[in-house]
Amino acid sequence: MRQPVDGQHIVTQQRKYLVTRGSDEAGTTTVTDRASRKVVVRHAPPTGFVAQSPVVIDDRWALIEEIRSDGPNPQIRAYRYDLSTGARTDLATQRALPRISEPEIGAYDGTFAYSSTDAKKRSCLVIAALDTLAARTVMCVPDPGYIADPVVSADSVTFSTITAPQSPQRCKRLFTAPLAGGSARPIAAGRNCIQWSGATLRGATIWSEIGADDPDQYQSRAYLRESPGAAARSLGTIVTDTIVACGNWIHWEVRAMRNGVETYQLQRWQPGLARPQVIYSTPPDTAITAPTCQNNTIFVEAAHLGGGTKYTEALATGTA
């Protein structure tokens, strides 16, 4: 799907629905029935609010989040839309579902994970089902620490804990927990307290590390551990915050220089492979979004910004 740079941008594509976001400041989000091409949801955030990614979606429901970060009253709001009727429910009215307290949401088809602040002012990692809104709390950290960066795979959720965030003792560590239940376990780091984000699949974890004082925050060092007790292998430098699990693979992006020209690669790995695979390389003067996953398909959007007509292009590949 090609669009002008200032046109509609793909968020994700589900079996039945296409989700796009406009280039307006608020990020108006549209869910369209792929068969009939009928718009079933048009979510336009009010003044001061901006729509966030991802959109959590299955055959019946879609969850859309919006935030207001400026001004004296920052706020996070999330709504679940019934795609059969277009009706929406404010998740804040669902007493059984802990309220979202950090803007990052990790999603894998109909499962999503997020941070919530409990009655003890602890930051907690919550896993929930989009269809039933059934939820369980995985782990909490005391204030002023908090939980962030959840990444959900077919069988696990991986997330970070930040303790003593405003002090020299600040520590950012990664944990992973099975979706089926059970406690979270730490992911041993290459260097202490600077883990950023990662994804776990079938016992293997890929994660990145970057220090708060590193001069290039856009890139970080990545590592692979094929099982909890295995030695860590270096994967080199990757684009920060692009690790995502999809189907049987873990994906990430790499910035490369070719003949003095900057390009980007989408790479992937699965248990049993000796080295990662490159599945897409951009032409020159092209930027790509962080990958997203839906129904065993990985999506990226490439913005072609060189000479001539500038446009964006949605790219997809199966990951089963």
Please tell me the pTM assigned to this model. Answer: 0.93
What pLDDT is recorded for position 308? 82
Structural tokens at position 17: 């629905």
Is residue 78 located within the same domain as residue 204? Answer: no
Report the Cα–Cα distance between both ends of the chain, in Å, rounded: 22
Is residue 87 located within the same domain as residue 206? Answer: no
Is residue 196 located within the same domain as residue 320? Answer: yes
In a domain, 49, yes or no: yes
Q: What is the pLDDT of residues 221-236, one digit of tens each?
A: 999 999 999 999 999 9
Q: Is 174 exposed, middle or buried (0-12, 13-18, 19+ CB in 10 A)?
A: buried
Q: In 3-state terms, the chain is what percent helix, strand and coil (to 5)? A: 0, 55, 45
In a domain, 227, yes or no: yes
pLDDT range class, residue 22, cuts 50, 70, 90: very high
In a domain, 181, yes or no: no
**Percent of the chain with pLDDT strictly greater than 70:** 98
In a domain, 136, yes or no: no
pLDDT range class, residue 189, cuts 50, 70, 90: very high
Instruction: Find where tokens 């890929």 sit.
Output: 206
Report how many domains make up the chain. Answer: 2
Paired strand residues for 126:
114, 137
Structural tokens at position 15: 């079996």
Average pLDDT over residues 15-33: 94
Distance CA 81, CA 88 (A): 4
Q: What is the pLDDT of residues 46-57, one digit of tens each?
A: 999 999 999 999
The residue segments making up the domain with residue 87 are 1-93
What pLDDT is recorded for position 33? 97
Distance CA 75, CA 55 (A): 18
In a domain, 239, yes or no: yes
pLDDT range class, residue 72, cuts 50, 70, 90: confident
What pLDDT is recorded for position 91? 96
End residue of a domain, out of 64, 93, 122: 93
In a domain, 175, yes or no: no
Is residue 191 located within the same domain as residue 88? Answer: no
Is residue 87 located within the same domain as residue 198? Answer: no
Which amino acid is residue 222, in one-letter code? Answer: A
Which amino acid is residue 116, in one-letter code? Answer: S
What pLDDT is recorded for position 1? 60
Q: What is the pLDDT of residues 97-107, one digit of tens each?
A: 999 999 999 99
pLDDT range class, residue 307, cuts 50, 70, 90: confident
Q: What is the pLDDT of residues 207-219, one digit of tens each?
A: 999 987 888 999 9
Average pLDDT over residues 109-137: 97
Is residue 89 located within the same domain as residue 192? Answer: no
End residue of a domain, out of 93, 124, 145: 93
What pLDDT is recorded for position 8? 83
End residue of a domain, out of 37, 64, 93: 93
What pLDDT is recorded for position 4? 66
Average pLDDT over residues 142-168: 96
In a domain, 22, yes or no: yes
Are the C-beta atoms of residues 101 and 115 closer than 8 Å to each other? Answer: yes
Q: Residue 6 pLDDT more than 90?
A: no
Q: Strand (E) positions, 109-248?
A: 111-117, 123-129, 135-141, 146-152, 156-163, 171-178, 185-186, 195-201, 204-209, 219-225, 233-239, 244-246
In a domain, 16, yes or no: yes
Q: Is 35 exposed, middle or buried (0-12, 13-18, 19+ CB in 10 A)?
A: exposed
Q: What is the pLDDT of residues 248-288, one digit of tens each?
A: 999 999 998 878 889 999 999 999 999 999 999 999 999 99
Average pLDDT, the chain: 94
Paired strand residues for 257:
262
What pLDDT is recorded for position 309? 84
What pLDDT is recorded for position 31? 97
Are the C-beta atoms of residues 114 and 102 closer than 8 Å to each other? Answer: yes
Distance CA 288, CA 139 (A): 33
Is residue 195 located within the same domain as residue 89? Answer: no
